[in-house]
Amino acid sequence: MTDRVRELTFEERSRWGVCPVCSAQDGEPCDPGVGIALGLMADGRQPTTGVHLGRLASVPSRVRLVPA
């Protein structure tokens, strides 16, 4: 059996696990009002969505798919 590995998308990575900065739970987006989130708009306005670097740093970039 061949291992199937795939890259996680940015959307998947940005909602993986618990964020150490804003405590957003697995599957929830980060709170851009807490700390500095990636995705700040060019004019300096707060984004409606974003992700904290602390969350991205603890997320795998690839996952192995296994049969259920």
Domain range summary for the chain, segments of one domain joined by +: 11-59
CA distances to 23, 64, 68 from 29, rounded to whole Å, are 10, 23, 27
Confidence of residue 5 (pLDDT cuts 50, 70, 90): very high
d(CA 29, CA 37): 11
pTM for the complete prediction?
0.70
Give mean pLDDT, residues 26-36.
85
pLDDT digits 0-9 by tens, 6-20: 999 888 898 999 999
For 42, the token pair is: 């060019």
Tell me the β-bridge partners of 6. Answer: 63
The rounded distance, in Å, linking the Cα atoms of 54 and 68 is 30
Task: Tell me how far apart the alpha carbons of residues 35 and 51 are, in angstroms, rounded to a whole number.
Answer: 10
